[in-house]
Amino acid sequence: MQVIDISFIDAFSFLMWLVASFGLSKIFKKFNIEGWWAFVPGARIYWLGRCADREEDGKIAMVFEILTYPILLSGQLVNPDLEISKYLALLNIFFGIVCMIYKARICIDLCGDLKVNKNWAWLWVFAEVIPCLVWAYNDKYTPNKALLRYNGLDPILDDELLRSLEENVDTTDSGLAVKIKDRTVRNFLDKRYLLREIFMNVPPGHMVLLLGGSGAGKTTFINAVTGYEKANAEILLDGMDVYEKYDKMKYSIGFVPQMDLIRSNDTVYRTLYDAALLRLPSSTGLIEIGNRVNEVLEQFGLSSVKGSLVEKLSGGQRKRLSIAMEYISDPYLFVLDEPDSGLDGVIARDLMRRLRAIADQGKIVIVITHTPDRVADLFDDVIVLAKDSKRTGRLAFYGSIDEAREFFGQNSMEGILRLINQKDEGGEGRSDEFVLKYAERQVEPK
Amino acid sequence: MTNEANANVSSNNSSSRRSPFKLITGGHRGRLAQIPIYLGKDFRMFIFQNDWKVLPMSALIAALIALVVGENMYVTMEGQFQCSLALTCVCIWNGFFNSIQSVCRERPIIKREHRSGMHISSYVIAHLIYQMFLCAMQALITVSVCKIVGIKFPTEGFITQWFLLDIWITIFLITYASDITSLFISSVVHTTTTAMTVMPFMLIFQLVFSGGAFTLSGPAAKLTNLTISKYGLVALCSQGNYNSLKSVTLWNTIFRIRESSPELKEALWQIEQAGQLEEILARSGEAMQETAYAMTKSNIYSCWGHLVMFAVIFAILSIIVLEFIDNDRR
C-alpha cells in the first residue's frame, strides 16, 4: 500500500476537467438540462448522450466510465510491482477504449445537432475542454431542438376537470372501465410520463379502433388496459379489477401482437392445440380441447390447412392463426395490434369482418391499425390517442366514428391523425387543443 | 347501405346487451403440466426444424478426430492426452452448437407465451430434457464412431462393468454441461447474431484454460477450475489410466538427435537390440505421471460432479435470466 501521490499532471488534468465541466454545464442548459449534471462524473456522459439523441450509448459510456474510477483508485493504492496491478491496467485500458468509442459516437451526433463540423468530435474526445468552452459561450452554437424533459408538470387539464372526468367513469357498468391517471417509466436518471389522464367506458359488444400517431402510446395504453404493464390506474372488466385479479383475468384477455410470433416449423393444429393447453383451464378434457381447436380452426378458415406447417401458410393465414391462438380461450376483452399489417385490402377486410363477428358475440374488441379508413365502417367506436407537446400520450377523443369525424371536422381517420400529430412528424400539432376540447365535452351536462 | 354497414348499425346498439364475461375460476396448467407441452414442441422441432442434423455432424467430427489422433489412445501418454483433449473439444463443440440459438431465435415467441401463462421454468426444463436426449445420442454416436474407426478401448470398466459405458457417461456429461452453458448464453443474448459472435470466445476460453493445451500459472491457472474442458480432460485421461501408460516423448527426442553423436547412436542401437526399449518407455512414463490424472474413483466422480454442477448452475441461471423476458423492448 502507498499514499496517494498527486502529481502536477494529475492536478492539471483535474483543473481541465473542472473548466470543461463549466462549459458543459452551459451546453446542458442550452439543451434544457440542469447544469449541475456536468459536474457529476459518469452522469454527464449519459446526459451528453441524451443531448445527442443517443441515450443507449450514453448509458453504456456511463457504466464503463464509472467502472474505471475504482480501477484508477486501486491503481493508485496497489503496489505497481504486484501482478494484479498489470491486470488493473489492462482493464483500465479496455474500459477506456470502450468509453472513448462511445464518446466519439455521441460527440459526432452532438456536432450534427449543434450544426458544427463533425471533425470537432475528435477534438472533444481528446481535449474536451476546447469544444466545451467554445460551444458553451458562443451563441452561434445552439441545438436544433431542446431536449424534451418529462419530469415537469405541464397540465392541460385542471384538477377540477380531472376530478369530473374520473367521476364520469361508471365502474359498476358491464364492459371495460378505464381510469388511467398516469403511466410513468423511470429511465436511468429521468422519469417520463408515457400516458396521462385517460378515462372512458367501453360497452360490451363494441369493436373499437385505437388510433394514434407513432409514439402516441397505443401499445402502452393496451399494456396498461390488459394489465400486462400496470399503470397508476384502475381498470375494471365488468366491475372486476384487472390489476387485482390479473392472474385469473389474464385468461379472459387476449392480446394479439403485431408480429406473427408463431413457431414456423410446427403444424397449424399442434400450434393451436398447444395454445389451448396453455390458455384453457386444466379441468378442460382433452376431447373438449380437441373440439374447441377444431371449432376455432373452422371459425378462422384454417381447417383446410390444419395439417400444414406454419411456414407454408400465406400471410393472411398466419395472421388468422396468430389471432386464433389468443381466441382459443374465448377472451372477453380482445386486443389486436395491427392485425392487418402486410395484408392487402380484401384480406384485411375479411379479417376485420371476423373480428366484427367476435364483437357481435358481446365481446370487446380493440384494434390498432395504421390503415383505418378501409375498414372504418366495421368499428363502433374510435379511441384517439395523441402525443401532447410534452410527448405524453393523452386521450383526444373517444366515441363513435361519425362523432369523431364531426369532432375533428375531418372526413377520414387519416385526416384526424394529421391534425393531432406533432409538426415535426408532418402533422398540424393541435393535439393539446383537442385533448382539452374533448375533456370539456365529456363533462358538459348532456 | 351494405350488409356490413347494417351489421355495424345493429352492433352500435349492443351496449345494452348482456355481457358474456365469465371469470375463469378453475386453475390453469401448472409448471409440471406445461413441461410435456414444450417437450412435444422441442421434439417436433427436432424433426421439422432440422435439429436432427447435429447427430450426423457429431459422427463426422468424431470420425475425423478418431482417424487423426485415435491411433495412440490408450497406448501412449501422448496419444492418450491428445485424443482426450481432442474428444473434450469435440464434446464442447457439439454441446455449444446444440443450443446456442435455441432460445434467442424464438425470444419474442417466449415473451408472447409468457404473457399468455407459460412458466419459464417449464420451458427451460423441457429444453433440459430434450437437450439431454440430444447429448445422450451424440455421446453414443461419438463412442460408436471411435470404436468403429479403430480406437482400441479397454474392455473392463472402472466405474461400471463396461468401459464403453464409463466413457459414454463422461462424453455425455461434457457435452451436456457445454450444452446447458450455451443454453444460458442463448437466454442472455437477444439475437442469434450475438449468440454466434459470443460462441467462438467461449470455445477459445475453454481451450486455453483447459489446463492441458497451455501451461498456465498464477491467477490464470485458477481460471481452469471454471472450465468444462478441464474436468472433461481430467476425466478422460483418468479413465484411460494415463499414469500407467508409456511415454515416448523422451525417446523420440533423443532419437531425433542421434546423428549428432556416434556414441549416442550406438547406445540407442544397443538398447533396441537388448529389448530394453519398452522398459525405457515405461520408466519415461513413470517420470511423466500427473497426480491430476490418477485413475481413482474419487477423481472421476469429482470430475463428473463438477460437470453436473455446471449444468445445474447454468440451468438455474437460464431460468432466472428468462424470468425477466417481459422487460425486452419491442
The ipTM, to two decimals, is 0.82
- A3 lies in some domain: no
pLDDT tens-digit map of B195-254: 999 999 999 999 999 988 888 887 788 889 999 999 999 999 999 999 999 999 888 888
More confident residue, A435 or B20: A435
Chain B residue with minimum CA distance to A240: B23
Residue A2 lies in a domain: no
A279 closest CB neighbour out of B19, B25, B117: B117
Q: Specify whether the CB–CB gap between A340 and A348 falls below 8 A.
A: yes
More confident residue, B48 or A222: A222
**Helix, strand, coil content of chain A in percent (nearest 5):** 50, 15, 30
Window 275-314 of B, Cβ < 8 Å to A: none
Check if B1 contacts A (Cβ < 8 Å): no
Rounded distance between C-alpha atoms, residue A317 and residue A232, angstroms: 38
Mean pLDDT of A124-146: 82
Contact B115 A255 (CB under 8 A): yes
How many Cβ atoms are within 10 Å of A407's Cβ, its own excluded? 19
Q: Is the pTM of this model over 0.80?
A: yes
Cell of A87: 491486470
Burial of A54 (0-12, 13-18, 19+ CB in 10 A): buried
Residue A249 and residue A360 in one domain: yes
Residue with cell 441524451: A50
CB contact (8 A) between residue A353 and residue B330: no
Query: Is the distance from CB of B72 to CB of B82 less than 8 angstroms?
Result: yes
Report the phi/psi class of residue B281: left, alpha or beta, with left for phi > 0 and alpha for psi in -120 to 50.
alpha
Q: What is the pLDDT of residue B10?
A: 38
CB pairs under 8 A between A and B: 139
Looking at residue B18, its pLDDT comes to 59
B15 interface with A at CB cutoff 8 Å: yes
Helices (H) and strands (E) counted in chain B, each on its own, are 14, 0
Q: How far is CA B269 from the centre of its chain?
A: 47
Residues A131 and A168 in one domain: no
Nearest by CB: B48 against A252, A309, A332 = A309
Split into its structural domains, chain A has a count of 2
Instruction: Report the pLDDT averaged over residues A195-218.
Output: 92
Sign of CA dihedral A77, A81, A84, A90: positive
With CB atoms and an 8 Å threshold, state whether A270 touches B40: yes
In a domain, residue A83? The reply is yes
Judgement on whether residues A96 and A182 belong to the same structural domain of the protein:
no
Q: Average model confidence (pLDDT) for chain A?
A: 87
Which residues of chain A have a CB within 8 Å of the CB of B126?
Answer: none
- pLDDT recorded at residue A124: 81
pLDDT of residue A236: 93
pLDDT on residue B25: 64
| Total residues belonging to chain A | 446
Do A356 and B4 lie within an 8 Å CB cutoff?
A: yes
Range in A39-43, A138-142, B194-198 the model is least confident about: A138-142
Q: What percent of chain A has pLDDT over 90?
A: 44
Which range has highest mean pLDDT (A216-220, A427-431, B9-13, B184-188)? B184-188
Both A399 and A329 in one domain: the answer is yes
| pLDDT given at position A6 | 65
Q: What is the mean pLDDT of residues A187-211?
A: 88
DSSP-derived secondary structure letter, A146: P
pLDDT of amino acid A234: 94
Residue B7: list chain A partners with CB under 8 A: 356, 360
Residue B1 or B77, more confident: B77
Q: Where are the domains of chain B?
A: 31-203+307-327
Looking at the structure, tell me whether residues A70 and A191 fall in a common domain: no
State whether the Cα torsion B35-B36-B41-B46 is positive or negative: positive
The conformation of residue A150, written as its DSSP 8-state character, comes to: -
The Cβ-side half-sphere exposure at B61, using a 13 Å CA radius, reads: 21
Residue A1: is its pLDDT beyond 60? no
The answer to whether the CB atoms of A362 and B14 lie below 8 A apart is: yes
| pLDDT for position A255 | 92
Handedness of CA A95, A101, A104, A110 (dihedral sign): negative
Q: What is the pLDDT, as a whole number, of residue B77?
A: 93
Question: Residue B161 has which C-alpha cell?
Answer: 462393468
Q: Give the distance from residue A58's alpha carbon to the nearest chain B alpha carbon, in angstroms.
A: 18
Q: How close does chain A come to B52, measured CA to CA in Å?
A: 13
Q: Which of residues 17-36 of B touch A (CB under 8 A)?
A: 17-30, 33-34
Q: What is the pLDDT of residues B117-142, one digit of tens each?
A: 899 999 999 999 999 999 999 999 99
pLDDT tens string B293-303 = 999 999 999 99
Q: A357 and A413, same structural domain?
A: yes
Is the domain of A198 the same as that of A65? no
Range of the domain at A305: 159-443
The larger pLDDT score, comparing residue B5 to residue A174, is at A174
pLDDT of residue B315 exceeding 60, the answer is yes
DSSP single-letter state for residue A267: B
User: Count of CB atoms within 10 A of residue A141's CB?
Assistant: 18
Residues in chain A closer than 8 A to B51 (CB atoms) = none
Who contacts A215 (Cβ-Cβ below 8 Å, separation ≥6)? A387, A391, A393
Looking at A137, A172, A198, the residue that finishes a domain is: A137
User: Mean pLDDT throughout B3-7?
Assistant: 41
Q: Is the pLDDT of residue B19 over 70?
A: no
Residue with the three cell numbers 466413457: B167
Q: Is the pLDDT of residue B11 over 50?
A: no
Shared domain check, A273 and A337: yes
pLDDT tens digit sequence for A374-419: 999 999 999 999 988 878 899 999 999 999 999 999 999 999 999 9
B9 interface with A at CB cutoff 8 Å: no
CB-based contact B70:B151 (threshold 8 Å): yes
Whether B7 sits inside 8 A of A282 (CB atoms) is no
Range name among A312-321, A437-446, B159-168 with the lowest pLDDT average: A437-446
Contact B11 A206 (CB under 8 A): yes
Residues A187 and A110 grouped into a single domain = no
User: Residue A252: its chain B contacts at CB < 8 A?
Assistant: 21-24
Residue A403 lies in a domain: yes
Which residue carries 359488444 as its cell? A205
B4 vs B294, more confident: B294
What pLDDT does B5 receive?
39
Number of other CB atoms surrounding residue A287 within 10 Å: 8
Q: Is B327 on the interface with A (CB under 8 A)?
A: no
Residue B15 has a pLDDT of 45
If you average pLDDT over residues B166-187, what whole number do you get?
97
Place of cell 515416448: B248
Question: In this structure, are A398 and A354 located in the same domain?
Answer: yes
**What is the distance in angstroms between the Cα of A142 and the nearest Cα belonging to chain B?**
32
pLDDT of residue A155: 66
The Cα–Cα gap between A223 and A219 comes to 6
> B198 to chain A, minimum CA–CA distance in Å?
18
Residue A383 and residue A401: Cα distance in Å, rounded?
9
Chain B residues touching residue A83 (CB < 8 angstroms): 218-219
3-class SS string, B105-141: HHHHHHHHHHHCCCCHHHHHHHHHHHHHHHHHHHHHH
Please check whether residues A87 and A168 belong to one and the same domain. Answer: no
CA gap B87, B245 in Å, rounded: 19
Share of chain B above pLDDT 90, in %: 65
Tell me whether residues A204 and B14 touch, CB distance under 8 A.
yes
Range scoring the smallest mean pLDDT among A232-246, B11-25, B302-316:
B11-25
Q: Which residues pair with A193 in a beta bridge?
A: A184
A282 with B112: Cβ contact below 8 A:
no
Residues of chain B with C-beta less than 8 angstroms from the C-beta of A257: 108, 112
Residue A154 within a domain? no
Mutate to test the interface with B, among A260, A263, A351 (most CBs of B within 10 A): A263
SS3 A332: coil
CB contact under 8 A, A259 and B108: yes
Residues 6+ apart with CB under 8 A from A127: none
Quick one: CA dihedral B220, B222, B224, B228, positive or negative?
negative
Q: Is B212 helix (H, G, I), strand (E, B) or coil?
A: coil
Q: Does B222 touch chain A (CB under 8 A)?
A: no
At residue B12, the pLDDT reads 43
- Contact criterion met (CB below 8 Å) for A184 and A232: yes
Average pLDDT, stretch A11-20?
A: 88
pLDDT at B37: 94
Q: Is position A151 within any domain?
A: no
Using pLDDT thresholds of 50, 70 and 90, give the confidence band for residue A76: confident
When the pLDDT of each residue in chain B is averaged and rounded to a whole number, the result is 89
pLDDT above 90 (res A427): no
Strands (E), A69-213: 176-187, 190-202, 207-212
Say which range, A75-84, A160-169, A253-262, B111-120, has the weakest mean pLDDT: A75-84
B40 touches chain A (CB under 8 A): yes
Which of B26, B27, B44, B48 has its CA nearest to residue B36? B44
Residue of A nearest to B25 (CA): A248
Q: Is the pLDDT of residue A346 over 60?
A: yes
The pLDDT score that the predictor gives to residue B2 is: 39
Q: Which of B146, B119, B175 is nearest to B62 (CA)?
A: B146
Interface test with A, best of B28, B44, B49, B102 (most A CBs within 10 A): B28
Give the domain CATH number at A429: 3.40.50.300
Q: Are residues A257 and A301 in the same domain?
A: yes
Looking at the partner chain, which of B17, B44, B109 has a beta carbon nearest the beta carbon of A261?
A: B109
Chain A residues whose CB is inside 8 A of the B5 CB are 377
Q: What pLDDT digit, counting tens, does each position of A279-309 carry?
A: 999 888 999 999 999 999 999 999 999 999 9
The C-alpha of A244 sits at a distance from chain B's nearest C-alpha, in angstroms, of 13
Name the band, by pLDDT with cuts 50, 70 and 90, for residue B261: confident
Contact B19 A175 (CB under 8 A): yes
Whether chain A has a CB inside 8 Å of the CB on B223: the answer is no
A91 part of a folded domain: yes
**Contact partners, residue A409, CB within 8 Å, separation at least 6:** none
